[in-house]
Amino acid sequence: MTDLVPRNDIPDDEDGLFHYVADLIEQGRHVASSQANATLTVTYWLIGRAISMNMLRQERADYGKQIVATLSRQLTTRFGRGFELASLRRMVQFARSSPTTRLSLQCRDN
């Protein structure tokens, strides 16, 4: 395991140490940001899929409009911004545009 950790990569001088640590921070922030963005993308896709599947099961357009509006109010109350009606509609559209979702919806219809 110690072979995975470089032994001589830490600079000896003060300026070199600063740049080394600053680079570590930037790399860490980049990785964290990428992971957070990927997690949010999957979360929003799953939300859109859940809403879409729920509306399909009910098979009523009016129900779909009501449930999305109600869900938007509930989520906004609990989690704050980001779950407005337009946002939830975009999540549904995103999920429906995914090949995986289209395939599962086609299988359901057959």
* 22, part of any domain: yes
* 9, part of any domain: no
Residue 102 has a pLDDT of: 52
* 4, part of any domain: no
Cα–Cα dist 20/10, whole Å: 7
* 79, part of any domain: yes
**Residue whose entry in the numeric block shows the structure tokens 């099961």:** 57
Long-range (24+ apart) CB contacts under 8 A made by 85-94 are: 88/47, 88/48, 88/51, 90/48, 91/44, 91/45, 91/47, 91/48, 91/51, 92/48, 92/51, 92/52, 92/55, 92/68, 93/48, 94/44, 94/45, 94/48
* 64, part of any domain: yes
Domain carrying residue 54: 15-109
* 5, part of any domain: no
* 10, part of any domain: no
**pTM (predicted TM-score):** 0.71
What is the number of domains present in the chain? 1
Task: At 14, list the tokens.
Answer: 């003060």
Each residue's pLDDT tens digit in the chain (110 positions)?
A: 456 566 678 888 999 999 999 999 999 999 999 999 999 999 999 999 999 988 888 777 677 788 899 999 999 999 999 999 999 999 999 999 987 655 455 545 44
* 95, part of any domain: yes
